[in-house]
Structure 1
Amino acid sequence: MTFTPLTSDFYGFATDLTETEQASLGQIRAFMEDEVQPVIDDHWHRDAFPMDLIPGIAGLGVIGAGWAESARFENSAVYRGWVALEMSRIDASVSTFVGVQNGLVAGSIGVAGSAEQRAEWLPKLADCSVVGAFGLTEPLSGSDSSQGLRTVARRDGDEWVIDGAKRWIGNATHADIVIIWAKDADDGKVKGFIVPTDAAGYSATKIERKISLRMVQNADIVLEGVRVPESMRLQEASSFRDTARVLRLTRAEVAWSAVGIMIGAYEAAVRYSRERVQFGKPIAGHQLVQDMLAKSLGHITASIALCVQVSRMLDEGRQADAHSALAKSFTTSHMREVVGWCREICGGNGIVTDYGVARFFADAEAIYTYEGTAQMNALIVGRAITGESAFV
């Protein structure tokens, strides 16, 4: 399929992708524009995820990307970033579903699972015959998850007994398995477990009344004496450092997703500015509107450049926590400015979904917060700069 770089990719970064990667992106863009965009506002307003689109998403080959057991072709981290951008340009909730399924769930098993666990679960996650969720954040533990986990796992013979609670867990209401991170009652180390959602003592309750990423089915999870066999413990996870390895891989893709949201809002604002007539001409011809569009394009271009480089570093094995943290902090902070300018360009019409900006404006708030707030990621970067930790 022919791939045409986005006009918002002002410096043409996407032309550096291989022909195979460009063709795949063209297929993804067509699916998002033809299948997702026509139904997305309705589902957003109804607070419902379009479950019927999951087989089509699986058919794109974007889940399992990066994991040898299920990758359709040799995928670079740069390519995977462009996938997140292309999806988020149309809808951040669909991109988040893929990010959870591929980066957090398949990523946890790919990074910390045994060979047997990888062989069993990664193909099922890739074709979405199994839907996964990632359980790290808790009602009383978010930014301090490395130290403050209250969910506990206790060894009992050949089984583990898990007690605790998780919050803001995406996909959790319709997932088949959840990766649960819990503190070992004996050694205090954080370990990961593949928990079937039909296990006795497990329950998930949908979080209602969200104003951001409304289509993502976030849930409160309660685990009361949930038993899983030792074979369901992630065999290569023995501390929070292993959790952090997963987050390092996905945090950069969240940065890419933030760029996609910027572009979605920017493209809608450009369209609106050409159609909206005030003072006898389209507002696209007014200086202040052009100034906001130019600043938006500058933020987009700088963010793409940063994301491309941090993903190249991942491909080369040079990416560290501070690199992905800077990408996430920088892009999401600038995303807030861009969606604000784009909403302003649309005036009062910018607060209803009919004109294409409002959904991006609202969804940006969730992207700004999850996978580490801008402030927490800034502290990771600050530690790398100074050699001193400012974490409490």
Structure 2
Amino acid sequence: MSEHEPLGPLSPDFLESDFYGYQSMLDDSETEVVLRTRRFLQEEVAPRANEFWEKATSPVHLMPKIADLEIAGLGYAFKDPGRSAGSTPAEDRKASRKLLTGWLEMEFARVDPSTGTMFSVHSSLAMSSISILGSEEQRERWLPAMRRMEKIGAFGLSEPHGGSDVAGGLETTARLDGDHWILNGSKRWIGNATFADLTIVFAKDEADGEVKGFVVEQGFEGFRAEKIEGKYSLRAVENADIHLENCRVPVENKLAEANSFADTAKVLRLTRGGVAFQAVGVMMGAYERAVAYAREREQFGSPIASFQLISDLIARMTANITASLGMAIRVSELQDNGVHHDEHAALAKTFCTTRLREVVGWAREILGGNGILIEHDVIRFFADAEALYSYEGTAQINNLIVGRGVTGFSAFV
């Protein structure tokens, strides 16, 4: 290799942004799933990602093609006679299964964070809620169709007046009335809710004050989802305001194991680790475009990649991506080994999304004025990073979770 030849990826099947070659930690069958997904994203999503973003419309038409990848619900245990050999239940998979599901979230975010979020709300938040908190009958009732993406899920926890204090501040209520639960209240920022077939809604039981979980199906009387307009991050995710007005939910739709916020936290503990992978993917997307631009863009008679200031920024970006991916992978290992705690996911989420802000800022800086043009993609990643930085717990809230885990003392109000 000459001193002027770029390092490039470790092999044609590796990403240039995977500087340490972490992909080699996947086994052969997992690698095949990743490469199949990567090809789909490059062929079907990348050419239209900016169009989706500018129109602020979710690419729902891609759902059948995503279903063909057979990646929805990987890592969850449920019976499904139609499940392929490449999608075996969690108890039959080797310890790397969370690495695979996390890596897939990263692949989506690297191309289009909006499409990735649309998929992860369904496959991660909604399906994991039913898998973790549902009964065996409920898992068999809903998860097979969700795996085939014949039914799409949404996840309703956040509220108009409740964000960081959601653990104790839920205003949405549930009241048992014979063979139905009556739900009243509002939810905000609920991705997929405008078109979802099933929305997981968490509400405070008026009888005991505990948070319960419910599967609210499309068409239930008293349920209404209204798209939030004017959003400039993850624009192609159709976030909604949900209105519940005496919404009647059959008792069999109350998630059997969702009886307190501690139960709800079991879902968040897993999905926060997924956000770390998403953050790495957004970093990779912005980084790859910035590096390609630096190689081609000439100023003062030379490619800007040959300038010390640009090289310094690229090295910093490489370090952020490499360190963040290593942390996300370690969290996936802890999850699979059964020694994963809230503070582990919280640290990964806050660290990776903070580093994300740095990387997208440096990528935009490398592109100069062109960095604000959608045709170069970087401004889309720049804007989308802000949503990842905030959702599933702000940096400050996650830092408090980490501090509590380290010292044993809670600094929450």
Tell me if the contact between 1:138 and 1:149 (Cα under 8 Å) persists in the aligned partners. yes
**Hey, what's the Cα distance between the residues in 2 that align with 1:279 and 1:91?**
34
Deviation readout 1:333-379 (Å, 9 max, x if unpaired): 00000000000000011011111211100100000000101111000
Tell me if the contact between 2:58 and 2:118 (Cα under 8 Å) persists in the aligned partners. no
Q: Does 1:59 align with 2:68?
A: yes
**Hey, what's the Cα distance between the residues in 1 that align with 2:377 and 2:52?**
14
- Who is 1:353 aligned against? 374
Among candidates 142, 147, 161, match of residue 163 of structure 2: 142
**Hey, what's the Cα distance between the residues in 2 that align with 1:158 and 1:200?**
15
TM-score normalized by structure 1?
0.98
- Who is 2:271 aligned against? 250
Deviation at 1:386, TM superposition (A): 1.3
Deviation at 1:316, TM superposition (A): 0.6
Deviation readout 1:52-100 (Å, 9 max, x if unpaired): 1111111112211111225613371011111011111001111111211
**Hey, what's the Cα distance between the residues in 1 that align with 2:60 and 2:326?**
34
Deviation at 1:275, TM superposition (A): 1.3
Tell me if the contact between 1:261 and 1:360 (Cα under 8 Å) persists in the aligned partners. yes
**Hey, what's the Cα distance between the residues in 2 that align with 1:230 and 1:376?**
34
Q: Does 1:286 align with 2:307?
A: yes
**Hey, what's the Cα distance between the residues in 2 that align with 1:277 and 1:238?**
61
Tell me if the contact between 1:339 and 1:360 (Cα under 8 Å) persists in the aligned partners. yes
**Hey, what's the Cα distance between the residues in 2 that align with 1:239 and 1:50?**
35
Among candidates 31, 34, 49, match of residue 43 of structure 2: 34
**Hey, what's the Cα distance between the residues in 2 that align with 1:108 and 1:45?**
31
Tell me if the contact between 1:58 and 1:126 (Cα under 8 Å) persists in the aligned partners. yes
Among candidates 179, 183, 187, match of residue 200 of structure 2: 179
**Hey, what's the Cα distance between the residues in 1 that align with 2:68 and 2:272?**
24
Deviation at 1:3, TM superposition (A): 7.3
Letter in 1 for 2:26: L
Deviation readout 1:10-68 (Å, 9 max, x if unpaired): 11111011000001100000000000001111111011111211111111122111112
Deviation readout 1:138-183 (Å, 9 max, x if unpaired): 0001111110000000000111000000000000111111100000
Equivalent positions of 1:228-307 (< 5 A) are: 228-307=249-328
Q: Does 1:45 align with 2:66?
A: no
Q: Does 1:324 align with 2:324?
A: no
Deviation readout 1:200-238 (Å, 9 max, x if unpaired): 111111000111000000000000000011100001111
Equivalent positions of 1:89-100 (< 5 A) are: 89-100=110-121
Letter in 2 for 1:193: F
Give 4+ residue runs of structure 1 displaced > 3 Å after superposition: none
Tell me if the contact between 1:101 and 1:133 (Cα under 8 Å) persists in the aligned partners. yes
- The number of residue pairs the alignment matches comes to 391
Q: Which moved more, 1:54-63 or 1:152-161?
A: 54-63
Runs of 5+ unmatched residues, structure 1 = none
Letter in 1 for 2:182: V
Over the residues paired in the alignment, what is the CA RMSD in angstroms?
1.1
Letter in 1 for 2:370: N
Tell me if the contact between 1:3 and 1:23 (Cα under 8 Å) persists in the aligned partners. no
TM-score normalized by structure 2?
0.93
Deviation readout 1:312-335 (Å, 9 max, x if unpaired): 010111110000000000000000
Q: Secondary structure at the match of 2:215?
A: strand
Q: Which moved more, 1:56-65 or 1:249-258?
A: 56-65
Among candidates 22, 29, 50, match of residue 13 of structure 1: 22
**Hey, what's the Cα distance between the residues in 1 that align with 2:192 and 2:31?**
29
Among candidates 283, 308, 315, match of residue 329 of structure 2: 308
**Hey, what's the Cα distance between the residues in 1 that align with 2:154 and 2:201?**
9
